[in-house]
Amino acid sequence: MNAANAPEFDLIVIGGGSGGLAGAFRAAEHGARVALLEPHLLGGTCVNVGCVPKKAMWLAADVAGRLNLARTLGFPVTPAPLDWCEFIVHRERYIANIHASYRRRLDAAGIALLPSHAGFLDPHTVECENGTHLRAERFLIATGGRPVRPAIPGADLGGDSDTFFQWRAAPECVAIVGGGYIAVELAGMLQALGSRVELFVRGDRLLREFDHELADQLAEDYRQAGIHLHFGYDLAAVERDDGGVRLRGMDGSECGRFDALLFATGRRPNSERLALERVGVAIDAQGHVVVDERHTTSVEHIFAVGDITPNPPLTPVAIAAARRLMDRVYGNATALLDPNDIPTVVFSHPPLGQVGLTEADARRVHGDEAVHVYRAGFRPMLYALADVPQHSLFKLVCVGEERRVVGIHLLGEAADEILQGFAVALKRGITLDDLRDTVAIHPTSAEEVVLMR
Ligand SMILES: Cc1cc2nc3c(=O)[nH]c(=O)nc-3n(C[C@H](O)[C@H](O)[C@H](O)COP(=O)(O)OP(=O)(O)OC[C@H]3O[C@@H](n4cnc5c(N)ncnc54)[C@H](O)[C@@H]3O)c2cc1C
Ligand SMILES: NC(=O)c1ccc[n+]([C@@H]2O[C@H](COP(=O)([O-])OP(=O)(O)OC[C@H]3O[C@@H](n4cnc5c(N)ncnc54)[C@H](O)[C@@H]3O)[C@@H](O)[C@H]2O)c1
Protein backbone atom coordinates (compact mmCIF):
# COMPACT_ATOMS: atom_id res chain seq x y z
CA MET A 1 0.00 0.00 0.00
CA ASN A 2 1.42 3.43 -0.80
CA ALA A 3 0.61 6.90 0.54
CA ALA A 4 -1.80 7.64 -2.30
CA ASN A 5 -4.31 4.84 -1.58
CA ALA A 6 -3.90 4.62 2.23
CA PRO A 7 -7.00 4.79 4.44
CA GLU A 8 -8.18 8.25 5.44
CA PHE A 9 -8.89 9.25 9.03
CA ASP A 10 -9.84 12.55 10.54
CA LEU A 11 -7.42 11.93 13.38
CA ILE A 12 -4.57 9.54 14.02
CA VAL A 13 -3.55 9.25 17.66
CA ILE A 14 -0.02 7.96 18.25
CA GLY A 15 0.19 6.31 21.68
CA GLY A 16 -2.57 4.60 23.68
CA GLY A 17 -1.74 5.84 27.17
CA SER A 18 -3.64 8.32 29.35
CA GLY A 19 -3.47 11.24 26.91
CA GLY A 20 -3.87 9.30 23.67
CA LEU A 21 -6.91 7.32 24.83
CA ALA A 22 -8.61 10.41 26.25
CA GLY A 23 -8.01 12.28 22.99
CA ALA A 24 -9.20 9.39 20.82
CA PHE A 25 -12.41 8.88 22.81
CA ARG A 26 -13.26 12.59 22.92
CA ALA A 27 -12.60 13.09 19.19
CA ALA A 28 -14.79 10.06 18.37
CA GLU A 29 -17.58 11.48 20.59
CA HIS A 30 -17.49 14.55 18.37
CA GLY A 31 -17.94 12.30 15.32
CA ALA A 32 -14.33 12.17 14.09
CA ARG A 33 -13.03 9.02 12.36
CA VAL A 34 -10.14 8.02 14.59
CA ALA A 35 -7.26 5.53 14.42
CA LEU A 36 -5.14 4.78 17.49
CA LEU A 37 -1.64 3.34 17.23
CA GLU A 38 -0.35 1.56 20.34
CA PRO A 39 2.34 -1.15 20.13
CA HIS A 40 2.08 -2.30 23.74
CA LEU A 41 -0.67 -2.59 26.36
CA LEU A 42 -3.57 -0.14 26.32
CA GLY A 43 -3.34 2.46 29.09
CA GLY A 44 0.37 3.18 28.68
CA THR A 45 2.54 4.05 31.66
CA CYS A 46 -0.21 4.94 34.11
CA VAL A 47 -2.19 1.72 33.82
CA ASN A 48 0.67 -0.73 33.30
CA VAL A 49 3.82 0.56 35.00
CA GLY A 50 2.75 3.74 36.79
CA CYS A 51 -0.13 5.15 38.84
CA VAL A 52 -2.29 2.03 38.95
CA PRO A 53 0.14 -0.77 39.93
CA LYS A 54 1.97 1.79 42.09
CA LYS A 55 -1.20 2.68 43.99
CA ALA A 56 -1.92 -1.05 44.39
CA MET A 57 1.49 -1.58 46.00
CA TRP A 58 0.98 1.55 48.11
CA LEU A 59 -2.35 0.19 49.33
CA ALA A 60 -0.68 -3.13 50.20
CA ALA A 61 1.98 -1.23 52.16
CA ASP A 62 -0.75 0.80 53.86
CA VAL A 63 -2.54 -2.40 54.90
CA ALA A 64 0.77 -3.75 56.29
CA GLY A 65 1.12 -0.59 58.41
CA ARG A 66 -2.48 -0.87 59.63
CA LEU A 67 -1.99 -4.53 60.60
CA ASN A 68 0.82 -3.38 62.89
CA LEU A 69 -1.43 -0.67 64.31
CA ALA A 70 -4.20 -3.22 64.80
CA ARG A 71 -1.92 -5.46 66.85
CA THR A 72 -0.88 -2.48 68.99
CA LEU A 73 -4.55 -1.64 69.56
CA GLY A 74 -5.43 -5.11 70.82
CA PHE A 75 -6.48 -7.04 67.74
CA PRO A 76 -5.08 -10.56 68.05
CA VAL A 77 -3.30 -10.51 64.68
CA THR A 78 0.28 -11.50 63.97
CA PRO A 79 1.30 -9.60 60.84
CA ALA A 80 3.28 -11.78 58.42
CA PRO A 81 5.08 -10.57 55.27
CA LEU A 82 2.92 -10.00 52.21
CA ASP A 83 2.70 -12.89 49.77
CA TRP A 84 3.58 -10.79 46.73
CA CYS A 85 2.55 -13.46 44.22
CA GLU A 86 -0.93 -13.63 45.68
CA PHE A 87 -1.27 -9.86 45.85
CA ILE A 88 -0.03 -9.48 42.28
CA VAL A 89 -2.81 -11.76 41.06
CA HIS A 90 -5.27 -9.18 42.45
CA ARG A 91 -3.26 -6.27 41.04
CA GLU A 92 -3.00 -7.74 37.54
CA ARG A 93 -6.67 -8.76 37.49
CA TYR A 94 -7.60 -5.15 38.28
CA ILE A 95 -5.36 -3.99 35.42
CA ALA A 96 -6.72 -6.62 33.02
CA ASN A 97 -10.23 -5.26 33.71
CA ILE A 98 -9.04 -1.79 32.71
CA HIS A 99 -7.59 -3.18 29.46
CA ALA A 100 -10.86 -4.96 28.70
CA SER A 101 -12.88 -1.86 29.44
CA TYR A 102 -10.70 0.27 27.11
CA ARG A 103 -11.03 -2.36 24.39
CA ARG A 104 -14.83 -2.38 24.70
CA ARG A 105 -14.98 1.40 24.64
CA LEU A 106 -12.71 1.61 21.57
CA ASP A 107 -14.93 -0.88 19.72
CA ALA A 108 -18.10 0.92 20.79
CA ALA A 109 -16.68 4.26 19.63
CA GLY A 110 -15.59 2.78 16.28
CA ILE A 111 -11.94 3.69 16.86
CA ALA A 112 -9.51 1.61 14.78
CA LEU A 113 -6.78 0.18 17.03
CA LEU A 114 -3.49 -0.70 15.35
CA PRO A 115 -0.89 -2.53 17.45
CA SER A 116 2.14 -0.74 16.09
CA HIS A 117 4.71 1.99 16.59
CA ALA A 118 4.27 4.83 14.15
CA GLY A 119 6.62 7.32 12.60
CA PHE A 120 5.86 10.18 10.21
CA LEU A 121 6.49 9.74 6.50
CA ASP A 122 5.14 13.12 5.49
CA PRO A 123 2.94 15.74 7.22
CA HIS A 124 -0.25 13.71 6.63
CA THR A 125 1.07 10.12 6.61
CA VAL A 126 2.47 7.79 9.24
CA GLU A 127 4.08 4.43 8.67
CA CYS A 128 3.39 1.38 10.88
CA GLU A 129 6.01 -1.25 11.69
CA ASN A 130 4.64 -3.62 9.04
CA GLY A 131 4.98 -0.95 6.36
CA THR A 132 1.31 0.07 6.30
CA HIS A 133 0.79 3.76 5.58
CA LEU A 134 -2.07 5.65 7.24
CA ARG A 135 -3.21 9.10 6.27
CA ALA A 136 -5.13 11.62 8.35
CA GLU A 137 -6.08 15.26 8.39
CA ARG A 138 -4.78 15.72 11.93
CA PHE A 139 -2.47 13.90 14.36
CA LEU A 140 -2.18 13.71 18.12
CA ILE A 141 1.22 12.66 19.48
CA ALA A 142 0.90 11.08 22.93
CA THR A 143 3.86 8.73 23.14
CA GLY A 144 4.79 9.45 26.77
CA GLY A 145 8.19 8.67 28.22
CA ARG A 146 10.37 5.97 29.75
CA PRO A 147 12.77 5.74 32.71
CA VAL A 148 16.38 6.88 32.31
CA ARG A 149 19.45 5.83 34.29
CA PRO A 150 22.67 7.73 34.80
CA ALA A 151 25.41 6.86 32.29
CA ILE A 152 27.76 5.26 34.81
CA PRO A 153 29.59 1.93 34.85
CA GLY A 154 27.34 -0.87 36.10
CA ALA A 155 24.05 1.02 35.68
CA ASP A 156 22.62 -2.07 33.97
CA LEU A 157 22.99 -3.98 37.27
CA GLY A 158 20.07 -1.98 38.64
CA GLY A 159 16.42 -1.79 37.69
CA ASP A 160 13.91 1.03 37.40
CA SER A 161 10.21 1.56 38.05
CA ASP A 162 9.30 -0.69 35.09
CA THR A 163 11.44 -3.48 36.56
CA PHE A 164 9.94 -2.98 40.01
CA PHE A 165 6.53 -3.99 38.72
CA GLN A 166 7.99 -7.33 37.59
CA TRP A 167 9.21 -8.19 41.08
CA ARG A 168 7.53 -11.16 42.74
CA ALA A 169 9.01 -10.72 46.25
CA ALA A 170 10.46 -7.96 48.41
CA PRO A 171 14.27 -7.93 48.44
CA GLU A 172 15.79 -8.00 51.92
CA CYS A 173 17.76 -4.83 51.37
CA VAL A 174 17.38 -2.41 48.50
CA ALA A 175 19.15 0.74 47.35
CA ILE A 176 17.11 3.40 45.54
CA VAL A 177 18.81 6.24 43.67
CA GLY A 178 16.85 9.50 43.25
CA GLY A 179 14.91 11.97 45.35
CA GLY A 180 11.79 12.63 43.26
CA TYR A 181 8.27 11.21 43.20
CA ILE A 182 9.20 7.67 42.18
CA ALA A 183 12.18 7.26 44.52
CA VAL A 184 10.19 8.50 47.50
CA GLU A 185 7.15 6.36 46.68
CA LEU A 186 9.18 3.18 46.11
CA ALA A 187 11.20 3.75 49.28
CA GLY A 188 8.11 4.19 51.44
CA MET A 189 6.25 1.18 50.12
CA LEU A 190 9.24 -1.19 50.13
CA GLN A 191 10.13 -0.27 53.72
CA ALA A 192 6.51 -0.80 54.79
CA LEU A 193 6.47 -4.16 53.00
CA GLY A 194 9.48 -5.36 54.96
CA SER A 195 12.60 -4.44 52.96
CA ARG A 196 15.51 -2.53 54.45
CA VAL A 197 15.72 0.58 52.26
CA GLU A 198 18.57 3.03 51.66
CA LEU A 199 17.77 6.10 49.57
CA PHE A 200 20.64 7.84 47.73
CA VAL A 201 19.74 11.44 46.90
CA ARG A 202 21.98 13.69 44.82
CA GLY A 203 20.57 16.91 46.27
CA ASP A 204 20.16 18.03 49.85
CA ARG A 205 16.44 17.29 50.22
CA LEU A 206 13.64 15.10 48.95
CA LEU A 207 11.10 16.35 46.42
CA ARG A 208 12.66 19.67 45.46
CA GLU A 209 9.45 21.01 43.95
CA PHE A 210 7.40 20.54 47.11
CA ASP A 211 7.24 22.84 50.12
CA HIS A 212 10.58 22.45 51.90
CA GLU A 213 9.13 22.27 55.38
CA LEU A 214 6.88 19.32 54.53
CA ALA A 215 9.53 17.58 52.42
CA ASP A 216 11.95 17.82 55.35
CA GLN A 217 9.27 16.49 57.71
CA LEU A 218 8.70 13.57 55.34
CA ALA A 219 12.45 12.84 55.36
CA GLU A 220 12.26 12.76 59.16
CA ASP A 221 9.25 10.40 59.00
CA TYR A 222 11.24 8.13 56.67
CA ARG A 223 14.20 8.09 59.06
CA GLN A 224 11.89 7.15 61.91
CA ALA A 225 10.44 4.35 59.79
CA GLY A 226 13.98 2.99 59.39
CA ILE A 227 14.85 4.22 55.89
CA HIS A 228 18.50 5.24 55.62
CA LEU A 229 18.78 8.53 53.74
CA HIS A 230 22.03 9.63 52.05
CA PHE A 231 21.85 13.27 50.89
CA GLY A 232 24.46 14.91 48.65
CA TYR A 233 25.31 11.49 47.25
CA ASP A 234 27.00 11.36 43.83
CA LEU A 235 26.98 7.84 42.44
CA ALA A 236 30.08 6.94 40.37
CA ALA A 237 29.59 3.23 39.66
CA VAL A 238 27.66 0.09 40.52
CA GLU A 239 29.58 -3.15 41.08
CA ARG A 240 28.58 -6.78 41.53
CA ASP A 241 28.87 -8.11 45.04
CA ASP A 242 28.04 -11.70 45.99
CA GLY A 243 24.79 -11.97 44.02
CA GLY A 244 23.88 -8.37 44.80
CA VAL A 245 25.44 -4.96 44.19
CA ARG A 246 27.43 -2.29 45.97
CA LEU A 247 27.58 1.39 45.13
CA ARG A 248 30.72 3.46 44.69
CA GLY A 249 30.42 7.21 45.26
CA MET A 250 32.34 9.93 43.42
CA ASP A 251 34.32 10.43 46.64
CA GLY A 252 35.49 6.79 46.50
CA SER A 253 33.19 5.64 49.33
CA GLU A 254 31.49 2.24 49.08
CA CYS A 255 27.98 1.34 50.22
CA GLY A 256 26.43 -2.11 50.16
CA ARG A 257 25.87 -4.93 49.72
CA PHE A 258 22.26 -4.63 48.44
CA ASP A 259 20.08 -7.42 47.09
CA ALA A 260 18.56 -5.01 44.60
CA LEU A 261 19.08 -1.53 43.20
CA LEU A 262 16.46 0.73 41.62
CA PHE A 263 17.13 3.90 39.67
CA ALA A 264 14.42 6.55 39.94
CA THR A 265 16.42 9.24 38.20
CA GLY A 266 13.83 10.75 35.89
CA ARG A 267 12.21 9.95 32.57
CA ARG A 268 12.87 10.72 28.90
CA PRO A 269 10.20 11.49 26.27
CA ASN A 270 9.57 8.88 23.55
CA SER A 271 10.17 11.14 20.54
CA GLU A 272 12.98 9.30 18.74
CA ARG A 273 10.89 6.82 16.72
CA LEU A 274 8.42 9.41 15.42
CA ALA A 275 10.66 10.77 12.62
CA LEU A 276 9.57 14.27 13.61
CA GLU A 277 12.42 15.82 11.68
CA ARG A 278 10.74 14.70 8.44
CA VAL A 279 7.72 16.88 9.10
CA GLY A 280 9.32 19.77 10.97
CA VAL A 281 7.81 19.17 14.45
CA ALA A 282 10.16 20.94 16.87
CA ILE A 283 11.53 19.23 19.98
CA ASP A 284 13.43 20.76 22.89
CA ALA A 285 16.85 19.77 24.24
CA GLN A 286 15.35 16.95 26.35
CA GLY A 287 13.40 15.53 23.39
CA HIS A 288 9.98 16.90 24.44
CA VAL A 289 7.67 17.94 21.62
CA VAL A 290 7.28 21.69 21.90
CA VAL A 291 3.65 22.85 22.10
CA ASP A 292 1.89 26.16 22.62
CA GLU A 293 -0.96 26.70 25.07
CA ARG A 294 -3.34 25.09 22.53
CA HIS A 295 -1.17 21.95 22.50
CA THR A 296 -0.33 22.65 18.89
CA THR A 297 3.18 21.73 17.75
CA SER A 298 5.23 23.76 15.29
CA VAL A 299 3.08 22.11 12.58
CA GLU A 300 -0.50 23.44 12.74
CA HIS A 301 -2.36 20.11 12.25
CA ILE A 302 -0.12 18.06 14.56
CA PHE A 303 -0.86 18.23 18.30
CA ALA A 304 0.79 16.71 21.35
CA VAL A 305 -0.28 16.06 24.95
CA GLY A 306 1.06 14.32 28.04
CA ASP A 307 4.58 13.32 28.99
CA ILE A 308 5.87 13.81 25.45
CA THR A 309 5.41 17.57 26.03
CA PRO A 310 7.12 19.71 28.69
CA ASN A 311 3.83 19.87 30.69
CA PRO A 312 3.80 18.38 34.23
CA PRO A 313 4.02 14.60 33.70
CA LEU A 314 0.82 13.60 35.48
CA THR A 315 -2.03 11.48 34.16
CA PRO A 316 -4.85 13.96 34.84
CA VAL A 317 -2.86 16.69 33.07
CA ALA A 318 -2.51 14.52 29.94
CA ILE A 319 -6.21 13.64 30.03
CA ALA A 320 -7.43 17.19 30.66
CA ALA A 321 -5.20 18.56 27.88
CA ALA A 322 -6.42 15.93 25.40
CA ARG A 323 -10.12 16.45 26.17
CA ARG A 324 -9.93 20.22 25.96
CA LEU A 325 -7.96 19.98 22.73
CA MET A 326 -10.52 17.71 21.05
CA ASP A 327 -13.41 19.87 22.32
CA ARG A 328 -11.74 22.85 20.59
CA VAL A 329 -10.78 21.04 17.37
CA TYR A 330 -14.02 19.10 16.82
CA GLY A 331 -16.48 21.02 19.02
CA ASN A 332 -17.24 24.65 19.74
CA ALA A 333 -15.18 24.94 22.92
CA THR A 334 -12.45 27.49 23.46
CA ALA A 335 -11.18 26.52 26.93
CA LEU A 336 -7.46 25.89 27.37
CA LEU A 337 -5.81 23.82 30.07
CA ASP A 338 -4.91 26.12 32.96
CA PRO A 339 -1.32 25.21 33.81
CA ASN A 340 -1.58 26.82 37.25
CA ASP A 341 -2.71 25.30 40.52
CA ILE A 342 -2.53 21.68 39.45
CA PRO A 343 -2.98 19.53 42.56
CA THR A 344 -0.59 16.63 43.02
CA VAL A 345 0.07 13.94 45.61
CA VAL A 346 3.19 11.90 46.29
CA PHE A 347 2.09 8.47 47.52
CA SER A 348 4.67 8.36 50.25
CA HIS A 349 4.08 6.99 53.75
CA PRO A 350 2.33 9.18 54.83
CA PRO A 351 1.17 10.88 51.60
CA LEU A 352 2.22 14.41 50.71
CA GLY A 353 -0.07 16.63 48.66
CA GLN A 354 0.14 20.15 47.34
CA VAL A 355 -1.76 22.64 45.25
CA GLY A 356 -0.63 26.13 44.37
CA LEU A 357 2.53 27.90 45.48
CA THR A 358 5.08 26.66 47.99
CA GLU A 359 6.02 29.14 50.69
CA ALA A 360 9.32 29.82 48.90
CA ASP A 361 7.56 30.43 45.55
CA ALA A 362 4.96 32.69 47.17
CA ARG A 363 7.71 34.80 48.75
CA ARG A 364 9.47 35.04 45.39
CA VAL A 365 6.28 35.98 43.50
CA HIS A 366 4.51 38.20 46.06
CA GLY A 367 7.37 39.43 48.29
CA ASP A 368 8.03 38.51 51.95
CA GLU A 369 5.75 41.23 53.32
CA ALA A 370 2.65 39.93 51.55
CA VAL A 371 3.02 36.27 52.53
CA HIS A 372 1.31 34.80 55.61
CA VAL A 373 1.79 31.16 56.58
CA TYR A 374 -0.47 29.07 58.82
CA ARG A 375 0.39 25.61 60.10
CA ALA A 376 -1.27 22.76 61.94
CA GLY A 377 0.85 19.96 63.35
CA PHE A 378 -1.13 17.15 64.96
CA ARG A 379 -1.31 13.42 65.48
CA PRO A 380 -4.18 11.72 63.60
CA MET A 381 -6.52 9.95 66.04
CA LEU A 382 -5.65 6.40 64.97
CA TYR A 383 -1.96 7.01 65.58
CA ALA A 384 -2.68 8.78 68.86
CA LEU A 385 -4.81 5.83 70.01
CA ALA A 386 -1.96 3.44 69.19
CA ASP A 387 0.56 5.90 70.69
CA VAL A 388 2.56 5.79 67.46
CA PRO A 389 4.66 8.91 66.82
CA GLN A 390 3.32 9.75 63.35
CA HIS A 391 2.35 13.39 62.99
CA SER A 392 0.64 15.29 60.23
CA LEU A 393 1.76 18.73 59.10
CA PHE A 394 -0.71 20.92 57.18
CA LYS A 395 0.23 24.33 55.88
CA LEU A 396 -1.60 27.21 54.20
CA VAL A 397 0.23 29.88 52.26
CA CYS A 398 -1.81 33.09 52.00
CA VAL A 399 -1.11 36.48 50.45
CA GLY A 400 -2.24 40.06 50.99
CA GLU A 401 -4.53 41.80 53.46
CA GLU A 402 -7.42 39.53 52.51
CA ARG A 403 -5.25 36.42 53.09
CA ARG A 404 -6.01 34.84 49.72
CA VAL A 405 -5.01 31.17 49.85
CA VAL A 406 -2.34 30.56 47.18
CA GLY A 407 -0.87 27.30 48.49
CA ILE A 408 -2.19 24.27 50.39
CA HIS A 409 0.32 21.68 51.57
CA LEU A 410 -0.75 18.53 53.39
CA LEU A 411 1.52 15.83 54.80
CA GLY A 412 -0.17 13.08 56.74
CA GLU A 413 -2.71 10.32 56.77
CA ALA A 414 -5.49 10.85 54.19
CA ALA A 415 -3.78 13.90 52.66
CA ASP A 416 -4.26 12.22 49.28
CA GLU A 417 -8.04 12.16 49.69
CA ILE A 418 -8.41 15.51 51.47
CA LEU A 419 -6.62 17.67 48.93
CA GLN A 420 -8.94 17.42 45.91
CA GLY A 421 -11.85 19.41 47.38
CA PHE A 422 -9.60 22.10 48.79
CA ALA A 423 -7.91 22.36 45.37
CA VAL A 424 -11.29 23.42 43.92
CA ALA A 425 -11.59 26.05 46.63
CA LEU A 426 -8.08 27.40 46.01
CA LYS A 427 -8.75 27.64 42.28
CA ARG A 428 -11.89 29.65 43.08
CA GLY A 429 -9.74 32.19 44.92
CA ILE A 430 -10.85 31.55 48.53
CA THR A 431 -9.45 33.45 51.47
CA LEU A 432 -8.50 32.29 54.93
CA ASP A 433 -11.80 33.74 56.23
CA ASP A 434 -13.74 31.59 53.75
CA LEU A 435 -12.08 28.53 55.25
CA ARG A 436 -12.72 29.72 58.78
CA ASP A 437 -16.37 30.44 57.94
CA THR A 438 -16.82 26.76 57.04
CA VAL A 439 -17.96 24.61 59.94
CA ALA A 440 -15.52 21.78 60.65
CA ILE A 441 -16.26 18.06 60.33
CA HIS A 442 -15.20 16.53 63.61
CA PRO A 443 -13.21 14.46 64.42
CA THR A 444 -11.20 14.33 61.17
CA SER A 445 -7.80 15.35 59.91
CA ALA A 446 -9.45 17.51 57.22
CA GLU A 447 -11.00 19.83 59.81
CA GLU A 448 -7.50 21.12 60.58
CA VAL A 449 -7.56 22.97 57.25
CA VAL A 450 -10.56 25.10 58.26
CA LEU A 451 -9.43 25.54 61.87
CA MET A 452 -5.97 26.95 61.14
CA ARG A 453 -5.10 30.14 62.99
C1 LIG B 1 6.05 4.68 38.54
C2 LIG B 1 5.14 5.81 38.10
C3 LIG B 1 4.11 6.20 38.92
C4 LIG B 1 3.27 7.23 38.53
N5 LIG B 1 2.26 7.60 39.37
C6 LIG B 1 1.44 8.59 39.03
C7 LIG B 1 0.36 8.96 39.86
O8 LIG B 1 0.17 8.40 40.94
N9 LIG B 1 -0.45 9.97 39.46
C10 LIG B 1 -0.25 10.61 38.27
O11 LIG B 1 -1.03 11.52 37.94
N12 LIG B 1 0.77 10.29 37.44
C13 LIG B 1 1.61 9.29 37.80
N14 LIG B 1 2.62 8.92 36.94
C15 LIG B 1 2.79 9.64 35.68
C16 LIG B 1 1.80 9.13 34.61
O17 LIG B 1 1.91 7.73 34.50
C18 LIG B 1 2.10 9.79 33.28
O19 LIG B 1 2.08 11.20 33.44
C20 LIG B 1 1.06 9.40 32.22
O21 LIG B 1 1.02 8.01 32.04
C22 LIG B 1 1.38 10.10 30.90
O23 LIG B 1 0.46 9.72 29.93
P24 LIG B 1 0.83 9.83 28.37
O25 LIG B 1 -0.40 9.48 27.64
O26 LIG B 1 1.51 11.10 28.11
O27 LIG B 1 1.94 8.69 28.15
P28 LIG B 1 1.96 7.15 28.46
O29 LIG B 1 0.94 6.75 29.45
O30 LIG B 1 3.39 6.83 28.77
O31 LIG B 1 1.54 6.47 27.09
C32 LIG B 1 2.32 6.57 25.94
C33 LIG B 1 2.03 5.38 25.05
O34 LIG B 1 2.62 5.64 23.77
C35 LIG B 1 3.12 4.43 23.25
N36 LIG B 1 4.15 4.75 22.25
C37 LIG B 1 5.42 5.17 22.45
N38 LIG B 1 6.03 5.41 21.29
C39 LIG B 1 5.12 5.14 20.31
C40 LIG B 1 5.15 5.21 18.88
N41 LIG B 1 6.22 5.62 18.20
N42 LIG B 1 4.02 4.86 18.21
C43 LIG B 1 2.90 4.46 18.88
N44 LIG B 1 2.84 4.39 20.21
C45 LIG B 1 3.92 4.73 20.93
C46 LIG B 1 3.64 3.69 24.48
O47 LIG B 1 3.68 2.28 24.25
C48 LIG B 1 2.64 4.08 25.55
O49 LIG B 1 1.63 3.11 25.72
C50 LIG B 1 3.47 7.88 37.30
C51 LIG B 1 4.52 7.47 36.45
C52 LIG B 1 5.33 6.44 36.85
C53 LIG B 1 6.44 6.00 35.93
N1 LIG C 1 2.20 10.44 42.54
C2 LIG C 1 2.39 10.94 41.33
O3 LIG C 1 1.63 11.74 40.82
C4 LIG C 1 3.60 10.50 40.56
C5 LIG C 1 4.31 9.38 40.94
C6 LIG C 1 5.41 9.01 40.20
C7 LIG C 1 5.79 9.76 39.09
N8 LIG C 1 5.07 10.83 38.76
C9 LIG C 1 5.47 11.68 37.62
O10 LIG C 1 6.53 11.08 36.91
C11 LIG C 1 7.62 12.01 36.82
C12 LIG C 1 8.89 11.25 36.86
O13 LIG C 1 9.18 10.79 38.20
P14 LIG C 1 10.68 10.61 38.67
O15 LIG C 1 10.69 10.35 40.12
O16 LIG C 1 11.38 9.67 37.75
O17 LIG C 1 11.29 12.01 38.31
P18 LIG C 1 11.54 13.29 39.20
O19 LIG C 1 11.94 14.33 38.24
O20 LIG C 1 10.44 13.55 40.16
O21 LIG C 1 12.81 12.86 40.08
C22 LIG C 1 14.03 12.47 39.50
C23 LIG C 1 15.06 12.45 40.62
O24 LIG C 1 16.25 11.86 40.14
C25 LIG C 1 17.34 12.68 40.49
N26 LIG C 1 18.39 12.44 39.51
C27 LIG C 1 18.37 12.73 38.19
N28 LIG C 1 19.52 12.32 37.62
C29 LIG C 1 20.25 11.74 38.60
C30 LIG C 1 21.53 11.13 38.64
N31 LIG C 1 22.28 11.06 37.55
N32 LIG C 1 21.99 10.67 39.82
C33 LIG C 1 21.23 10.77 40.94
N34 LIG C 1 20.01 11.33 40.97
C35 LIG C 1 19.54 11.81 39.80
C36 LIG C 1 16.80 14.08 40.51
O37 LIG C 1 17.61 14.93 41.26
C38 LIG C 1 15.41 13.84 41.14
O39 LIG C 1 15.52 13.78 42.53
C40 LIG C 1 7.43 12.98 37.98
O41 LIG C 1 7.94 14.23 37.66
C42 LIG C 1 5.94 12.99 38.21
O43 LIG C 1 5.34 14.06 37.55
C44 LIG C 1 3.99 11.23 39.47
Q: Is 318 near ligand 2, meaning CB less than 6 Å away? A: no
Taking only the tens place, the pLDDT of each residue in 346-389 is 999 999 999 999 999 999 999 999 999 999 999 999 999 999 98
Give mean pLDDT, residues 314-318. Answer: 98
Q: Catalytic residue among 99, 124, 228, 442, which?
A: 442
Measured from the CA of 152, which atom of ligand 2 is nearest? 31
Residue nearest to atom 12 of ligand 1 (CA): 314
- Residue 21 clears pLDDT 60, i.e. is over it: yes
Any idea which ligand is nearest the CA of 18?
1
Give mean pLDDT, residues 179-200. Answer: 98
The predicted structure's pLDDT at residue 256? 86
Taking only the tens place, the pLDDT of each residue in 51-76 is 999 999 999 999 999 999 999 999 99
Give mean pLDDT, residues 415-442. Answer: 98
Ligand 1 site, CB within 6 A: 14-20, 37-40, 44-46, 50-51, 54, 117-118, 142-144, 161, 182, 270, 273-274, 306-308, 313-316, 318, 347
* pTM of the model as a whole: 0.97
Beta strands 173-177 and 260-263, pairing class: parallel
Residue nearest to atom 47 of ligand 1 (CA): 40
Residue 2: pLDDT band with limits 50, 70, 90: low
Give mean pLDDT, residues 320-334. Answer: 97
Residue nearest to atom 14 of ligand 2 (CA): 266
Query: How far apart are alpha carbons 287 and 272 in whole angstroms?
Result: 8
Percent of the chain with pLDDT over 90: 97
For the chain, first and last CA: distance in Å?
70
Pocket test for ligand 1, best of 114, 143, 189 (most atoms within 8 A of CB): 143
Give mean pLDDT, residues 138-158. Answer: 97
Chain mean pLDDT for the chain: 96
CATH 3.30.390.30 maps onto the chain at 350-451
Domain covering 350-451, topology: Enolase-like; domain 1 (3.30.390)
Helices (H), 1-83: 18-29, 44-49, 51-72
The predicted structure's pLDDT at residue 79? 83
Measured from the CA of 207, which atom of ligand 2 is nearest? 39
Taking only the tens place, the pLDDT of each residue in 235-260 is 999 999 999 999 999 999 999 899 99
* Stretch (H or E) spanning 239: strand 235-241
Taking the domain 3-50+86-147+268-330, which CATH number applies? Answer: 3.50.50.60
Query: How far apart are alpha carbons 117 and 130 in whole angstroms?
Result: 9
Query: How many alpha carbons lie under 13 Å from residue 52 in its C-beta half-sphere?
Result: 21
Q: Does domain 155-265 have CATH number 1.10.540.10?
A: no
Pocket test for ligand 2, best of 47, 58, 146, 182 (most atoms within 8 A of CB): 182
CATH 3.50.50.60 maps onto the chain at 3-50+86-147+268-330, 155-265
Quick one: three-class SS letters along 104-136?
HHHHHHCCEEECCCEEEEECCEEEECCCCEEEE
Taking only the tens place, the pLDDT of each residue in 272-285 is 999 999 999 999 99
Give mean pLDDT, residues 86-96. Answer: 98
Taking only the tens place, the pLDDT of each residue in 290-309 is 999 999 999 999 999 999 99
- Residue 7 clears pLDDT 70, i.e. is over it: no
Residue 1: pLDDT band with limits 50, 70, 90: very low
The predicted structure's pLDDT at residue 389? 87
Give mean pLDDT, residues 95-121. Answer: 97
**What is the predicted ipTM?**
0.98
String of DSSP letters for 423-435:
HHHHHTT-BHHHH
Query: Catalytic residue at 442?
Result: yes
- Residue 312 clears pLDDT 60, i.e. is over it: yes
